[in-house]
Amino acid sequence: PSVPADVVATVVVLQALEGLSDRDALRALVTDLRWKVAAGLSLDDEGFHPTVLTLWRNKLRASQNPERVFDAVREVVAETGVLAGKTRRAADLYAEVIGVDSTYVSAAFGLARCRVEDGDRRGAVDAYRAVPPSSATYTEAQVATARVLVGRDQDAAPTASDIAAAASTIDAARIDSAARARLATEVLERALVSITSGALPEDAGASIFGNPLTEKGLRRSLESSYRDLARVASTPAERFELVDRAN
């Protein structure tokens, strides 16, 4: 039977907060009463297979808003202050784990999330870059690095160096063409907003995806990205919308 979306979303959030692997997260769901209560499951519920989390993450990555589950949680946290004062302690614990065993990559992801919450873009990038290329989560860390560099979850505008580094990270990432186009579009849209708002000056000497870091150059790159996305759109309506943006 299918697993309710709210149950999977709850497990995904708890997993991220605890820095657990998929298998350990499902073990916690079965054995930890707090997880069962949070997910709204009965005490004798046997949970579901860990691959469900993998399928969910893949679907989220392929969607227009891959971070929507965590965005919703951040809004609640910001409004209620429920985790006030706990981020620094969590960061210290993650850093301690990395210091003992740098191959424990879930700690790197946990530390990066804490740095993002603190508005420490550079610290978050450093944490994600601690994930070694040999890790199965290396590509996921590269994608997260690109998003952090352009300040997807932060108010401060990215610098020209941040945007260039994000573009280089995307170019180097081992992701399919559709995922690459979606990620490039995120970076380009963020850069364009920063320039048109005056938060970031144009820099004709900087090259982003083959075009200069200017409003004209970014719009040219975005046109190409929108057309790439249109070619892999799942519905005619989505395809028409993307072609319209490109035009």
Q: What is the pLDDT of residue 118?
A: 81
> Which range among 46-60, 78-92, 117-131 shows the weakest confidence by mean pLDDT?
78-92
Burial code of 167-191, b = ≥16 C-beta within 10 A, e = fewer?
A: bebbeebebeebbbbbbbbbbbebb
Closest CA to 162 of 147, 174, 175: 147
| CA gap 163, 37 in Å, rounded | 42
Q: Crossing angle for the helix pair 22-31 and 51-62, nearest 10 degrees?
A: 120
| CA gap 92, 102 in Å, rounded | 14
Q: Which helix (H) or strand (E) holds 213?
A: strand 211-213
Tell me the average pLDDT across 51-77.
69
pTM of full prediction above 0.75 = no
Instruction: Write the CB contacts of 112 (distance below 8 Å, at least 6 apart in sequence).
Output: 123, 124, 125, 127, 128, 144, 148
Q: Which helix (H) or strand (E) holds 193?
A: helix 177-196
> Is the per-residue pLDDT at 93 higher than 70?
no
Amino acid 134 reads S
Query: Per residue in 191-244, pLDDT tens?
Result: 999 999 998 999 988 889 999 999 999 999 999 999 988 988 888 888 888 888
Q: What is the pLDDT of residue 164?
A: 93
Tell me the average pLDDT across 49-69.
76
Q: What is the pLDDT of residue 76?
A: 52
Tell me the average pLDDT across 55-64.
75
> Is the per-residue pLDDT at 58 higher than 70?
yes
Q: The tokens of 77 are what? A: 């946290």
